[in-house]
Structure 1
Amino acid sequence: MLVVAGAATGGAFGVLLAGPILALLVVLLAPFVAKLVLGMLASRRRGAFAEQLDDSLQLLASGLRAGHSLLRAIDAVSADSPAPTSEEFTRVINETRLGRDVGESLDDTAQRMDSDDFRWVAQAIAIHREVGGNLAEVLDQVGHTIRERSQIRGQVKALSAEGRISALVLMVLPFGLGGFLLVASPGYMDKFTQSPLGFMLMGVAALLLITGGLWLRKVVSFKF
Protein backbone atom coordinates (compact mmCIF):
# COMPACT_ATOMS: atom_id res chain seq x y z
CA MET A 1 0.00 0.00 0.00
CA LEU A 2 2.88 2.37 0.73
CA VAL A 3 4.44 1.64 -2.67
CA VAL A 4 1.12 2.25 -4.44
CA ALA A 5 0.56 5.47 -2.50
CA GLY A 6 4.12 6.65 -3.25
CA ALA A 7 3.77 5.81 -6.94
CA ALA A 8 0.44 7.66 -7.15
CA THR A 9 1.89 10.72 -5.40
CA GLY A 10 4.97 10.72 -7.62
CA GLY A 11 2.78 10.30 -10.69
CA ALA A 12 0.65 13.27 -9.66
CA PHE A 13 3.74 15.46 -9.23
CA GLY A 14 5.05 14.18 -12.57
CA VAL A 15 1.83 15.27 -14.31
CA LEU A 16 2.03 18.72 -12.73
CA LEU A 17 5.72 19.18 -13.54
CA ALA A 18 6.18 17.71 -17.00
CA GLY A 19 3.10 15.88 -18.21
CA PRO A 20 1.83 12.28 -18.39
CA ILE A 21 5.00 10.72 -19.79
CA LEU A 22 7.08 11.63 -16.75
CA ALA A 23 4.20 10.52 -14.51
CA LEU A 24 4.12 7.12 -16.21
CA LEU A 25 7.90 6.82 -15.83
CA VAL A 26 7.69 7.59 -12.10
CA VAL A 27 4.87 5.08 -11.60
CA LEU A 28 6.83 2.35 -13.39
CA LEU A 29 10.05 3.02 -11.46
CA ALA A 30 8.43 3.28 -8.03
CA PRO A 31 8.26 -0.51 -7.35
CA PHE A 32 11.91 -0.99 -8.30
CA VAL A 33 13.05 1.91 -6.12
CA ALA A 34 10.93 0.63 -3.23
CA LYS A 35 12.42 -2.86 -3.56
CA LEU A 36 15.93 -1.41 -3.62
CA VAL A 37 15.33 0.73 -0.51
CA LEU A 38 13.62 -2.11 1.35
CA GLY A 39 16.48 -4.45 0.49
CA MET A 40 19.00 -1.95 1.85
CA LEU A 41 17.05 -1.55 5.11
CA ALA A 42 16.66 -5.31 5.52
CA SER A 43 20.36 -5.86 4.83
CA ARG A 44 21.27 -3.21 7.41
CA ARG A 45 19.01 -4.84 10.01
CA ARG A 46 20.41 -8.31 9.33
CA GLY A 47 23.94 -6.97 9.53
CA ALA A 48 23.25 -5.40 12.93
CA PHE A 49 21.73 -8.67 14.15
CA ALA A 50 24.81 -10.60 12.99
CA GLU A 51 27.17 -8.18 14.75
CA GLN A 52 25.22 -8.50 18.02
CA LEU A 53 24.92 -12.29 17.88
CA ASP A 54 28.18 -13.04 19.66
CA ASP A 55 27.25 -10.87 22.66
CA SER A 56 23.75 -12.35 22.66
CA LEU A 57 25.13 -15.89 22.83
CA GLN A 58 27.38 -14.93 25.73
CA LEU A 59 24.40 -13.51 27.61
CA LEU A 60 22.35 -16.60 26.81
CA ALA A 61 25.10 -18.96 28.00
CA SER A 62 25.62 -16.91 31.17
CA GLY A 63 21.92 -17.12 31.95
CA LEU A 64 21.94 -20.89 31.52
CA ARG A 65 24.99 -21.22 33.78
CA ALA A 66 23.18 -19.17 36.41
CA GLY A 67 20.47 -21.83 36.50
CA HIS A 68 17.79 -20.12 34.43
CA SER A 69 15.59 -22.05 32.06
CA LEU A 70 16.03 -21.57 28.31
CA LEU A 71 13.01 -19.29 27.99
CA ARG A 72 14.08 -17.23 31.00
CA ALA A 73 17.57 -16.85 29.52
CA ILE A 74 16.10 -15.77 26.16
CA ASP A 75 13.89 -13.29 27.99
CA ALA A 76 16.95 -11.86 29.73
CA VAL A 77 18.73 -11.47 26.39
CA SER A 78 15.71 -9.64 24.95
CA ALA A 79 15.77 -7.24 27.88
CA ASP A 80 19.52 -6.53 27.89
CA SER A 81 20.32 -6.49 24.16
CA PRO A 82 19.96 -3.58 21.73
CA ALA A 83 17.69 -3.68 18.68
CA PRO A 84 17.20 -5.64 16.49
CA THR A 85 18.26 -8.55 18.72
CA SER A 86 15.95 -7.44 21.53
CA GLU A 87 13.01 -7.21 19.13
CA GLU A 88 13.60 -10.64 17.62
CA PHE A 89 14.08 -12.38 20.97
CA THR A 90 11.03 -10.60 22.38
CA ARG A 91 9.06 -11.98 19.46
CA VAL A 92 10.29 -15.48 20.29
CA ILE A 93 9.12 -15.07 23.89
CA ASN A 94 5.72 -13.72 22.85
CA GLU A 95 5.19 -16.56 20.39
CA THR A 96 6.04 -19.21 22.99
CA ARG A 97 3.64 -17.59 25.46
CA LEU A 98 0.93 -18.00 22.84
CA GLY A 99 1.68 -21.72 22.62
CA ARG A 100 4.16 -21.99 19.77
CA ASP A 101 7.17 -24.28 20.06
CA VAL A 102 10.35 -22.38 20.89
CA GLY A 103 12.31 -24.31 18.26
CA GLU A 104 9.95 -23.20 15.50
CA SER A 105 10.17 -19.59 16.68
CA LEU A 106 13.97 -19.71 16.64
CA ASP A 107 13.98 -21.26 13.15
CA ASP A 108 11.71 -18.48 11.89
CA THR A 109 14.00 -15.88 13.44
CA ALA A 110 16.96 -17.39 11.60
CA GLN A 111 14.96 -17.33 8.38
CA ARG A 112 13.87 -13.69 8.83
CA MET A 113 17.42 -12.60 9.59
CA ASP A 114 18.84 -14.88 6.87
CA SER A 115 21.54 -15.88 9.35
CA ASP A 116 23.37 -19.19 9.00
CA ASP A 117 25.04 -18.48 12.35
CA PHE A 118 21.71 -18.25 14.15
CA ARG A 119 20.51 -21.40 12.36
CA TRP A 120 23.37 -23.20 14.10
CA VAL A 121 22.18 -21.80 17.41
CA ALA A 122 18.62 -22.94 16.74
CA GLN A 123 19.84 -26.41 15.74
CA ALA A 124 22.04 -26.65 18.84
CA ILE A 125 19.07 -25.77 21.05
CA ALA A 126 16.84 -28.27 19.22
CA ILE A 127 19.41 -31.06 19.64
CA HIS A 128 19.85 -30.20 23.33
CA ARG A 129 16.09 -30.45 23.90
CA GLU A 130 16.11 -33.96 22.43
CA VAL A 131 19.31 -35.50 23.84
CA GLY A 132 20.23 -33.20 26.73
CA GLY A 133 23.73 -32.08 27.65
CA ASN A 134 25.42 -28.85 28.63
CA LEU A 135 23.77 -26.25 26.38
CA ALA A 136 25.89 -23.40 27.77
CA GLU A 137 29.10 -25.16 26.68
CA VAL A 138 27.64 -25.88 23.25
CA LEU A 139 26.68 -22.23 22.84
CA ASP A 140 30.19 -21.19 23.82
CA GLN A 141 31.60 -23.39 21.06
CA VAL A 142 29.10 -22.03 18.54
CA GLY A 143 29.97 -18.50 19.65
CA HIS A 144 33.67 -19.18 19.13
CA THR A 145 32.95 -20.33 15.56
CA ILE A 146 30.80 -17.27 14.94
CA ARG A 147 33.56 -14.98 16.17
CA GLU A 148 36.03 -16.54 13.74
CA ARG A 149 33.54 -16.15 10.89
CA SER A 150 32.94 -12.52 11.86
CA GLN A 151 36.68 -11.87 11.81
CA ILE A 152 36.96 -13.29 8.29
CA ARG A 153 33.86 -11.31 7.25
CA GLY A 154 35.48 -8.11 8.52
CA GLN A 155 38.66 -8.81 6.57
CA VAL A 156 36.72 -9.43 3.36
CA LYS A 157 34.68 -6.26 3.93
CA ALA A 158 37.88 -4.25 4.33
CA LEU A 159 39.38 -5.73 1.16
CA SER A 160 36.19 -5.03 -0.84
CA ALA A 161 35.81 -1.45 0.46
CA GLU A 162 37.43 -0.01 -2.68
CA GLY A 163 34.90 -1.77 -4.89
CA ARG A 164 31.99 -0.47 -2.81
CA ILE A 165 33.30 3.10 -2.94
CA SER A 166 33.78 2.81 -6.72
CA ALA A 167 30.19 1.57 -7.07
CA LEU A 168 28.91 4.49 -4.99
CA VAL A 169 30.85 7.02 -7.09
CA LEU A 170 29.54 5.51 -10.32
CA MET A 171 25.95 5.64 -9.03
CA VAL A 172 26.18 9.24 -7.82
CA LEU A 173 28.14 10.57 -10.80
CA PRO A 174 25.19 10.87 -13.27
CA PHE A 175 23.11 12.82 -10.73
CA GLY A 176 26.03 15.05 -9.81
CA LEU A 177 26.86 15.76 -13.46
CA GLY A 178 23.19 16.44 -14.25
CA GLY A 179 22.89 18.83 -11.32
CA PHE A 180 26.06 20.64 -12.39
CA LEU A 181 24.73 21.08 -15.93
CA LEU A 182 21.41 22.41 -14.62
CA VAL A 183 23.24 25.02 -12.58
CA ALA A 184 25.98 25.90 -15.10
CA SER A 185 23.79 25.83 -18.21
CA PRO A 186 20.07 25.77 -17.32
CA GLY A 187 18.84 25.28 -20.88
CA TYR A 188 21.28 22.54 -21.81
CA MET A 189 19.01 19.65 -20.75
CA ASP A 190 15.64 21.15 -21.72
CA LYS A 191 15.28 18.80 -24.70
CA PHE A 192 14.96 15.86 -22.31
CA THR A 193 11.69 17.31 -20.96
CA GLN A 194 10.32 18.78 -24.18
CA SER A 195 9.83 15.70 -26.34
CA PRO A 196 8.72 12.05 -25.97
CA LEU A 197 12.16 10.96 -27.16
CA GLY A 198 13.78 12.82 -24.27
CA PHE A 199 11.54 11.11 -21.71
CA MET A 200 12.24 7.78 -23.38
CA LEU A 201 15.98 8.38 -23.12
CA MET A 202 15.65 9.31 -19.44
CA GLY A 203 13.66 6.13 -18.85
CA VAL A 204 16.31 4.01 -20.57
CA ALA A 205 19.03 5.78 -18.59
CA ALA A 206 17.19 5.14 -15.31
CA LEU A 207 16.70 1.48 -16.19
CA LEU A 208 20.36 1.06 -17.09
CA LEU A 209 21.39 2.87 -13.90
CA ILE A 210 19.26 0.54 -11.74
CA THR A 211 20.55 -2.52 -13.59
CA GLY A 212 24.15 -1.38 -13.19
CA GLY A 213 23.60 -0.60 -9.51
CA LEU A 214 22.18 -4.07 -8.84
CA TRP A 215 25.05 -5.67 -10.77
CA LEU A 216 27.66 -3.67 -8.86
CA ARG A 217 25.96 -4.56 -5.58
CA LYS A 218 26.16 -8.22 -6.51
CA VAL A 219 29.84 -7.93 -7.40
CA VAL A 220 30.87 -6.39 -4.06
CA SER A 221 28.59 -8.57 -1.90
CA PHE A 222 29.96 -11.84 -0.55
CA LYS A 223 27.99 -14.61 1.11
CA PHE A 224 29.46 -16.57 4.00
Structure 2
Amino acid sequence: MDNLTLLTVGVTLLACVLGVAGAHVYSSGRAQRQALVARMSQTGQTPLPTGRRQRFAGLDRRLRATRAGRRLEREITATGLDLTAGEYTVYVATTLLALYFTIGAVFAPFFGLLAAVAGLWGARSFLRWQRARRTEAFINQLPELTRVLANATQAGLALRTALAMAADELDDPAGYELSVVADQLALGQSIDDALGVLADRLPSRELIVLVTTLILANRAGGQVVTSLRNLTQTLEERKETRREVTTMLSQIKVTALAVPLLGLGFLLMINTMTPGALDKMTGSVTGQIATVTAFGLYALGAVLIRRFSRIQV
Protein backbone atom coordinates (compact mmCIF):
# COMPACT_ATOMS: atom_id res chain seq x y z
CA MET A 1 0.00 0.00 0.00
CA ASP A 2 2.83 2.40 0.88
CA ASN A 3 4.55 1.62 -2.42
CA LEU A 4 1.29 2.28 -4.30
CA THR A 5 0.89 5.64 -2.54
CA LEU A 6 4.45 6.67 -3.29
CA LEU A 7 4.03 5.58 -6.91
CA THR A 8 0.83 7.61 -7.24
CA VAL A 9 2.47 10.69 -5.74
CA GLY A 10 5.49 10.26 -8.00
CA VAL A 11 3.38 9.89 -11.12
CA THR A 12 1.32 12.94 -10.13
CA LEU A 13 4.43 15.07 -9.57
CA LEU A 14 5.88 13.89 -12.86
CA ALA A 15 2.66 14.76 -14.65
CA CYS A 16 2.70 18.23 -13.07
CA VAL A 17 6.30 18.80 -14.10
CA LEU A 18 5.60 17.65 -17.65
CA GLY A 19 2.50 19.85 -17.76
CA VAL A 20 4.45 22.93 -16.67
CA ALA A 21 7.23 22.14 -19.12
CA GLY A 22 4.72 21.64 -21.92
CA ALA A 23 2.97 24.94 -21.16
CA HIS A 24 6.33 26.71 -21.17
CA VAL A 25 7.33 25.17 -24.50
CA TYR A 26 3.93 26.01 -25.98
CA SER A 27 4.05 29.65 -24.84
CA SER A 28 7.62 30.16 -26.06
CA GLY A 29 6.83 28.53 -29.40
CA ARG A 30 3.72 30.66 -29.82
CA ALA A 31 5.72 33.81 -29.06
CA GLN A 32 8.39 32.82 -31.57
CA ARG A 33 5.74 32.12 -34.19
CA GLN A 34 4.10 35.49 -33.64
CA ALA A 35 7.47 37.23 -33.90
CA LEU A 36 8.25 35.35 -37.12
CA VAL A 37 4.87 36.19 -38.64
CA ALA A 38 5.32 39.84 -37.65
CA ARG A 39 8.66 39.94 -39.46
CA MET A 40 7.28 38.20 -42.54
CA SER A 41 4.30 40.55 -42.65
CA GLN A 42 6.62 43.43 -43.45
CA THR A 43 7.42 41.80 -46.79
CA GLY A 44 3.78 41.05 -47.56
CA GLN A 45 4.14 37.30 -47.19
CA THR A 46 1.58 36.79 -44.44
CA PRO A 47 -0.89 38.89 -42.45
CA LEU A 48 0.10 40.42 -39.16
CA PRO A 49 -1.22 38.45 -36.17
CA THR A 50 -3.62 40.44 -34.06
CA GLY A 51 -4.70 37.97 -31.40
CA ARG A 52 -8.23 37.81 -32.80
CA ARG A 53 -9.99 35.51 -35.20
CA GLN A 54 -9.55 36.81 -38.73
CA ARG A 55 -12.64 36.95 -40.89
CA PHE A 56 -12.89 36.01 -44.57
CA ALA A 57 -9.67 33.99 -44.47
CA GLY A 58 -10.41 32.27 -47.76
CA LEU A 59 -10.87 35.55 -49.62
CA ASP A 60 -7.75 36.91 -47.96
CA ARG A 61 -5.68 33.97 -49.20
CA ARG A 62 -6.96 34.46 -52.74
CA LEU A 63 -6.18 38.17 -52.63
CA ARG A 64 -2.66 37.61 -51.31
CA ALA A 65 -2.06 35.31 -54.27
CA THR A 66 -2.43 38.29 -56.63
CA ARG A 67 -0.15 41.27 -57.13
CA ALA A 68 -2.93 43.77 -56.40
CA GLY A 69 -3.82 41.93 -53.19
CA ARG A 70 -0.23 41.96 -51.96
CA ARG A 71 0.05 45.67 -52.73
CA LEU A 72 -3.20 46.30 -50.85
CA GLU A 73 -1.91 44.32 -47.89
CA ARG A 74 1.29 46.38 -47.77
CA GLU A 75 -0.77 49.58 -47.83
CA ILE A 76 -2.95 48.36 -44.98
CA THR A 77 0.12 47.31 -42.98
CA ALA A 78 1.59 50.81 -43.41
CA THR A 79 -1.57 52.33 -41.91
CA GLY A 80 -1.37 50.26 -38.72
CA LEU A 81 -5.00 49.16 -39.03
CA ASP A 82 -6.09 45.85 -37.51
CA LEU A 83 -7.40 44.60 -40.85
CA THR A 84 -6.53 42.05 -43.49
CA ALA A 85 -6.88 42.57 -47.22
CA GLY A 86 -9.92 40.28 -47.31
CA GLU A 87 -11.67 42.11 -44.49
CA TYR A 88 -10.95 45.48 -46.08
CA THR A 89 -12.33 44.32 -49.44
CA VAL A 90 -15.55 42.95 -47.91
CA TYR A 91 -16.10 46.05 -45.78
CA VAL A 92 -15.56 48.36 -48.76
CA ALA A 93 -17.92 46.33 -50.96
CA THR A 94 -20.59 46.38 -48.25
CA THR A 95 -20.21 50.13 -47.80
CA LEU A 96 -20.47 50.76 -51.53
CA LEU A 97 -23.70 48.76 -51.75
CA ALA A 98 -25.11 50.63 -48.74
CA LEU A 99 -24.21 53.96 -50.33
CA TYR A 100 -25.77 52.98 -53.64
CA PHE A 101 -29.11 51.95 -52.20
CA THR A 102 -29.28 54.69 -49.55
CA ILE A 103 -28.34 57.63 -51.77
CA GLY A 104 -30.40 56.20 -54.61
CA ALA A 105 -33.46 56.03 -52.37
CA VAL A 106 -32.99 59.55 -50.95
CA PHE A 107 -32.06 61.35 -54.17
CA ALA A 108 -32.22 59.29 -57.38
CA PRO A 109 -30.73 55.99 -58.67
CA PHE A 110 -28.15 57.88 -60.74
CA PHE A 111 -26.90 59.64 -57.60
CA GLY A 112 -26.53 56.24 -55.97
CA LEU A 113 -24.13 55.24 -58.74
CA LEU A 114 -22.16 58.47 -58.26
CA ALA A 115 -22.07 57.83 -54.52
CA ALA A 116 -20.67 54.33 -55.09
CA VAL A 117 -17.91 55.73 -57.32
CA ALA A 118 -17.15 58.42 -54.75
CA GLY A 119 -17.13 55.77 -52.02
CA LEU A 120 -14.57 53.71 -53.96
CA TRP A 121 -12.34 56.78 -54.21
CA GLY A 122 -12.97 57.51 -50.54
CA ALA A 123 -11.89 53.99 -49.54
CA ARG A 124 -8.50 54.53 -51.18
CA SER A 125 -8.28 58.02 -49.72
CA PHE A 126 -9.00 56.60 -46.27
CA LEU A 127 -5.91 54.39 -46.49
CA ARG A 128 -3.78 57.34 -47.56
CA TRP A 129 -5.25 59.49 -44.79
CA GLN A 130 -4.65 56.79 -42.19
CA ARG A 131 -1.08 56.35 -43.37
CA ALA A 132 -0.52 60.13 -43.25
CA ARG A 133 -2.03 60.21 -39.77
CA ARG A 134 0.29 57.44 -38.60
CA THR A 135 3.24 59.22 -40.19
CA GLU A 136 2.25 62.44 -38.42
CA ALA A 137 2.08 60.62 -35.10
CA PHE A 138 5.51 59.14 -35.75
CA ILE A 139 6.91 62.59 -36.60
CA ASN A 140 5.59 63.93 -33.30
CA GLN A 141 7.58 61.21 -31.51
CA LEU A 142 10.82 61.95 -33.36
CA PRO A 143 12.16 64.45 -30.79
CA GLU A 144 11.72 61.88 -28.04
CA LEU A 145 13.24 59.20 -30.28
CA THR A 146 16.34 61.24 -31.03
CA ARG A 147 16.69 62.05 -27.32
CA VAL A 148 16.61 58.35 -26.43
CA LEU A 149 19.13 57.51 -29.16
CA ALA A 150 21.43 60.33 -28.06
CA ASN A 151 21.34 59.18 -24.43
CA ALA A 152 21.97 55.57 -25.43
CA THR A 153 24.89 56.36 -27.72
CA GLN A 154 26.37 58.72 -25.15
CA ALA A 155 26.26 55.84 -22.66
CA GLY A 156 28.43 53.83 -25.05
CA LEU A 157 25.75 51.58 -26.57
CA ALA A 158 25.92 50.51 -30.19
CA LEU A 159 23.38 51.93 -32.64
CA ARG A 160 21.66 48.54 -33.00
CA THR A 161 21.24 48.29 -29.23
CA ALA A 162 20.07 51.90 -29.02
CA LEU A 163 17.36 51.25 -31.64
CA ALA A 164 16.17 48.15 -29.79
CA MET A 165 16.07 50.07 -26.50
CA ALA A 166 14.10 52.90 -28.12
CA ALA A 167 11.62 50.34 -29.46
CA ASP A 168 11.00 49.11 -25.91
CA GLU A 169 10.66 52.58 -24.37
CA LEU A 170 8.53 54.41 -26.94
CA ASP A 171 4.82 54.01 -27.54
CA ASP A 172 3.21 53.17 -30.86
CA PRO A 173 3.65 53.91 -33.68
CA ALA A 174 7.35 54.65 -33.06
CA GLY A 175 7.76 51.67 -30.75
CA TYR A 176 6.25 49.25 -33.25
CA GLU A 177 8.16 50.63 -36.24
CA LEU A 178 11.47 50.51 -34.37
CA SER A 179 10.73 46.98 -33.21
CA VAL A 180 10.36 46.03 -36.89
CA VAL A 181 13.74 47.63 -37.58
CA ALA A 182 15.26 45.78 -34.61
CA ASP A 183 13.83 42.48 -35.87
CA GLN A 184 15.26 43.10 -39.33
CA LEU A 185 18.67 43.84 -37.81
CA ALA A 186 18.44 40.64 -35.76
CA LEU A 187 17.81 38.72 -38.99
CA GLY A 188 21.08 40.02 -40.42
CA GLN A 189 19.87 42.98 -42.45
CA SER A 190 22.17 46.00 -42.54
CA ILE A 191 21.35 49.22 -40.70
CA ASP A 192 21.25 51.14 -43.98
CA ASP A 193 18.65 48.82 -45.50
CA ALA A 194 16.51 48.54 -42.36
CA LEU A 195 16.37 52.32 -41.86
CA GLY A 196 15.80 52.84 -45.58
CA VAL A 197 12.74 50.57 -45.47
CA LEU A 198 11.47 52.56 -42.48
CA ALA A 199 11.86 55.83 -44.40
CA ASP A 200 9.98 54.35 -47.37
CA ARG A 201 7.19 53.04 -45.14
CA LEU A 202 6.67 56.39 -43.36
CA PRO A 203 7.85 59.07 -45.78
CA SER A 204 8.58 62.47 -44.21
CA ARG A 205 11.33 65.07 -44.31
CA GLU A 206 12.08 64.78 -40.63
CA LEU A 207 12.47 61.01 -40.75
CA ILE A 208 14.67 61.21 -43.85
CA VAL A 209 16.97 63.64 -42.01
CA LEU A 210 17.15 61.33 -38.99
CA VAL A 211 17.77 58.24 -41.13
CA THR A 212 20.47 60.04 -43.11
CA THR A 213 22.16 61.18 -39.89
CA LEU A 214 22.15 57.66 -38.44
CA ILE A 215 23.41 56.07 -41.66
CA LEU A 216 26.27 58.56 -42.02
CA ALA A 217 27.18 58.15 -38.37
CA ASN A 218 27.17 54.38 -38.75
CA ARG A 219 29.39 54.52 -41.84
CA ALA A 220 31.89 57.22 -40.92
CA GLY A 221 31.53 57.60 -37.16
CA GLY A 222 31.95 61.11 -35.75
CA GLN A 223 30.02 63.20 -33.29
CA VAL A 224 26.77 61.26 -33.46
CA VAL A 225 25.70 62.39 -29.98
CA THR A 226 26.14 66.06 -30.84
CA SER A 227 24.29 65.59 -34.12
CA LEU A 228 21.38 63.89 -32.37
CA ARG A 229 21.24 66.62 -29.72
CA ASN A 230 21.07 69.33 -32.37
CA LEU A 231 18.53 67.32 -34.36
CA THR A 232 16.36 66.92 -31.26
CA GLN A 233 16.20 70.69 -30.77
CA THR A 234 15.43 71.26 -34.44
CA LEU A 235 12.65 68.67 -34.43
CA GLU A 236 11.11 70.26 -31.33
CA GLU A 237 10.99 73.62 -33.08
CA ARG A 238 9.52 72.10 -36.25
CA LYS A 239 6.91 70.28 -34.17
CA GLU A 240 5.71 73.54 -32.64
CA THR A 241 5.70 75.26 -36.03
CA ARG A 242 3.66 72.46 -37.60
CA ARG A 243 1.17 72.67 -34.73
CA GLU A 244 0.72 76.41 -35.24
CA VAL A 245 0.28 76.02 -38.99
CA THR A 246 -2.31 73.27 -38.50
CA THR A 247 -4.29 75.48 -36.13
CA MET A 248 -4.22 78.40 -38.54
CA LEU A 249 -5.42 76.28 -41.47
CA SER A 250 -8.22 74.47 -39.65
CA GLN A 251 -10.88 76.92 -40.89
CA ILE A 252 -9.74 76.49 -44.50
CA LYS A 253 -9.97 72.70 -44.19
CA VAL A 254 -13.53 73.01 -42.90
CA THR A 255 -14.36 75.24 -45.88
CA ALA A 256 -12.98 72.67 -48.31
CA LEU A 257 -15.26 70.07 -46.74
CA ALA A 258 -18.29 72.36 -46.63
CA VAL A 259 -18.18 73.21 -50.35
CA PRO A 260 -19.33 69.79 -51.67
CA LEU A 261 -21.72 69.34 -48.74
CA LEU A 262 -23.51 72.54 -49.75
CA GLY A 263 -24.15 71.09 -53.19
CA LEU A 264 -25.69 67.96 -51.70
CA GLY A 265 -27.80 70.12 -49.40
CA PHE A 266 -29.16 72.12 -52.33
CA LEU A 267 -30.06 68.93 -54.19
CA LEU A 268 -31.86 67.55 -51.16
CA MET A 269 -33.76 70.81 -50.76
CA ILE A 270 -34.81 70.78 -54.41
CA ASN A 271 -35.99 67.18 -54.20
CA THR A 272 -37.94 67.97 -51.02
CA MET A 273 -39.66 71.02 -52.52
CA THR A 274 -40.40 69.25 -55.82
CA PRO A 275 -40.60 65.46 -55.36
CA GLY A 276 -39.29 63.55 -58.35
CA ALA A 277 -37.31 66.52 -59.73
CA LEU A 278 -34.00 64.71 -59.47
CA ASP A 279 -35.40 61.64 -61.22
CA LYS A 280 -36.50 63.83 -64.13
CA MET A 281 -33.16 65.67 -64.16
CA THR A 282 -31.10 62.50 -64.34
CA GLY A 283 -33.54 60.70 -66.64
CA SER A 284 -31.79 62.02 -69.76
CA VAL A 285 -28.19 61.90 -70.95
CA THR A 286 -27.97 65.68 -70.88
CA GLY A 287 -29.07 65.81 -67.27
CA GLN A 288 -26.62 63.10 -66.29
CA ILE A 289 -23.74 64.93 -68.00
CA ALA A 290 -24.73 68.17 -66.28
CA THR A 291 -24.91 66.40 -62.91
CA VAL A 292 -21.47 64.80 -63.33
CA THR A 293 -20.04 68.15 -64.44
CA ALA A 294 -21.52 69.93 -61.41
CA PHE A 295 -20.14 67.36 -58.99
CA GLY A 296 -16.78 67.53 -60.74
CA LEU A 297 -16.69 71.31 -60.30
CA TYR A 298 -17.55 70.97 -56.60
CA ALA A 299 -14.79 68.40 -56.18
CA LEU A 300 -12.35 70.60 -58.11
CA GLY A 301 -13.19 73.55 -55.87
CA ALA A 302 -12.53 71.50 -52.74
CA VAL A 303 -9.22 70.21 -54.14
CA LEU A 304 -8.08 73.72 -55.16
CA ILE A 305 -8.89 75.11 -51.72
CA ARG A 306 -6.78 72.41 -50.07
CA ARG A 307 -3.97 72.85 -52.60
CA PHE A 308 -3.77 76.61 -52.11
CA SER A 309 -3.84 76.24 -48.33
CA ARG A 310 -1.12 73.57 -48.19
CA ILE A 311 2.01 74.85 -46.51
CA GLN A 312 5.12 72.71 -46.39
CA VAL A 313 6.95 73.17 -43.09
TM class by smaller structure? 0.7 to 0.9
AA of the residue aligned to 2:132: S
The 5 A counterparts of 1:1-224 are 2=88, 6-7=92-93, 10-11=96-97, 14=100, 21=110, 24-178=113-267, 181=269, 186=272, 188=274, 190-194=276-280, 195-197=282-284, 200-224=289-313
Q: Distance in 1 between matches of 2:250 and 2:94?
A: 37
TM-score normalised by structure 1 residue count? 0.80
Instruction: From the superposition, tell whether residues 130 and 61 of structure 1 become closer, same or farther in structure 2 (CA, over 3 Å).
Output: same
What whole-Å deviation, never above 9, does each CA across 1:137-165 have from its counterpart, x for those lacking one?
A: 21111112222222332333333333223
AA of the residue aligned to 2:174: T
Kindly state the Cα deviation for residue 27 of structure 1 after the two structures are TM-superposed: 4.5
Decide which moves more: 106-115 or 47-56.
106-115
AA of the residue aligned to 1:37: F
Q: Which has the higher contact order (CA 8 A, sep 6+)?
A: 1
Instruction: From the superposition, tell whether residues 172 and 21 of structure 1 become closer, same or farther in structure 2 (CA, over 3 Å).
Output: closer
TM-score normalised by structure 2 residue count? 0.60
Instruction: From the superposition, tell whether residues 177 and 85 of structure 1 become closer, same or farther in structure 2 (CA, over 3 Å).
Output: farther
| Structure 1 vs Structure 2 CA RMSD | 3.1
Instruction: From the superposition, tell whether residues 12 and 72 of structure 1 become closer, same or farther in structure 2 (CA, over 3 Å).
Output: same
What is the DSSP-based 3-state SS (H/G/I as helix, E as strand, rest coil) of the residue aligned with 2:188? Answer: coil
Contact 2:163 2:178 in 1 (8 A): yes
Unpaired stretches in structure 2, ≥5 consecutive residues: 1-84
What is the DSSP-based 3-state SS (H/G/I as helix, E as strand, rest coil) of the residue aligned with 2:310? Answer: coil
Decide which moves more: 134-143 or 17-26.
17-26
Contact 1:193 1:199 in 2 (8 A): no
Higher Cα radius of gyration: 2
Contact 2:184 2:194 in 1 (8 A): yes
Contact 2:256 2:302 in 1 (8 A): yes
- Equivalent pairs: percent with the same residue? 22
Q: Distance in 1 between matches of 2:288 and 2:275?
A: 11
AA of the residue aligned to 1:29: A
Unpaired stretches in structure 1, ≥5 consecutive residues: none
Contact 1:3 1:31 in 2 (8 A): no
Q: Distance in 1 between matches of 2:176 and 2:192?
A: 17
AA of the residue aligned to 1:56: L
Kindly state the Cα deviation for residue 119 of structure 1 after the two structures are TM-superposed: 1.2
What is the DSSP-based 3-state SS (H/G/I as helix, E as strand, rest coil) of the residue aligned with 1:186? Answer: helix
AA of the residue aligned to 2:158: S
Instruction: From the superposition, tell whether residues 177 and 44 of structure 1 become closer, same or farther in structure 2 (CA, over 3 Å).
Output: farther
